[in-house]
Amino acid sequence: MLVLLLASLLLTVPPDTSWKHQRLRTQMVEQQIEARGISDPDVLDAMRSVPRHRFAPNHPPELAYADRPLPIGHEQTISQPYIVARMTELAAPDSTDRALEIGTGSGYQAAVLAEIVDSVYTIEILPELATTATKRLQNLGYDNVVVRNADGFKGWPERAPFDLIIVTAAPETIPPPLIRQLAEGGRMIIPVGPTGRTQRLTLVTKANGEISTRELAPVRFVPFLRNNKN
């Protein structure tokens, strides 16, 4: 009877809470994220919770949790775990926040935000990635995330203002519509710079109606794509 009970329990363990994947996530957070100075408990909890291997389905779990970006098709990548954690911590998310993400990709950054904030609106310009990310997020139960296939340069004015905006591709300059869609007290994290060269991770804040920008670190992101028809 005990053997049958244990076998039943093993069969009911969801694949994303398997001991192997939990161990890989724990190691990822301890060795790649906490060890490099990320300390926000909500961010650390989110990184431990989101099944990163489900957002990099063409790679083995050990590689999905490695300290590196990974290709996800269509010349796009899923950022390395540390960069996702760093950008999330810099955005200072809160449980009541409305967040905008530009560059859904596989949906990983949106899922990390969804673990912390009230709602996430995320825009992906490539229809294939928007479709697969929508299905993936829905299958994983992230019902506070809405994916839109559109040109992220314009933001999402119908849902603005946003308490935080995270941009996961690099424009050469900060898109003015995104600045306008920041709420009072809002924060935007965005890589800025030329394609194929080092960019600067930049924090944009709005306080008393005034916009301030601060360059934080050198980074390398995929280019910010535009819809030439618009």
**pLDDT value at residue 16:** 53
Partner residues linked to 187 by β-bridges: 164, 205
Reference 103, options 49, 173, 167, 160; nearest CA is 167
Contacts of 87 (CB under 8 A, 6+ apart): 79, 109, 166, 168, 189, 201
Tell me whether residue 79 is one of the annotated catalytic residues: yes
**pLDDT value at residue 171:** 96
pLDDT greater than 90 at residue 31:
yes
pLDDT band at 13 (very low <50, low <70, confident <90, very high): very low
As a CATH number, domain 69-219 is: 3.40.50.150
**pLDDT value at residue 1:** 46
Reference 160, options 172, 176, 171; nearest CA is 176
**pLDDT value at residue 17:** 53
CA distance 175 to 83: 21
How many other C-beta atoms are found inside a 10 Å radius of the C-beta of residue 216?
A: 14
CB 120 within 8 A of CB 144: yes
**pLDDT value at residue 9:** 35
Contacts of 198 (CB under 8 A, 6+ apart): 218, 219, 220
Tell me the per-residue pLDDT of 35-91, one tens digit each, with 9 for 90 and over. Answer: 999 999 999 999 999 999 999 988 999 999 999 999 999 989 999 999 999 999 999
Domain boundaries, the chain: 69-219
Q: Is 200 helix (H, G, I), strand (E, B) or coil?
A: strand
> What is the pLDDT of the chain when averaged over all its residues?
91
Alpha helices per DSSP H over 140-207:
176-180
**pLDDT value at residue 3:** 39
Q: What percent of the chain has pLDDT over 70?
A: 92
**pLDDT value at residue 10:** 36
pLDDT greater than 70 at residue 4:
no
- Identified catalytic residue from 39, 79, 106, 212: 79
CA distance 77 to 79: 6
Whole-Å CA distances, 188 to 83, 111, 142, 153, 214: 15, 18, 22, 14, 11
Per-residue DSSP letter, 69: -
pLDDT greater than 80 at residue 176:
yes
The pTM is what? 0.89
**pLDDT value at residue 8:** 38
* Residues in the chain, total: 230
CA distance 126 to 111: 18
Find the distance separating the first CA and the last CA of the chain, reported in whole Å: 65
Tell me the per-residue pLDDT of 112-154, one tens digit each, with 9 for 90 and over. Answer: 999 999 999 999 999 999 999 999 999 999 999 999 999 999 9
**pLDDT value at residue 51:** 97
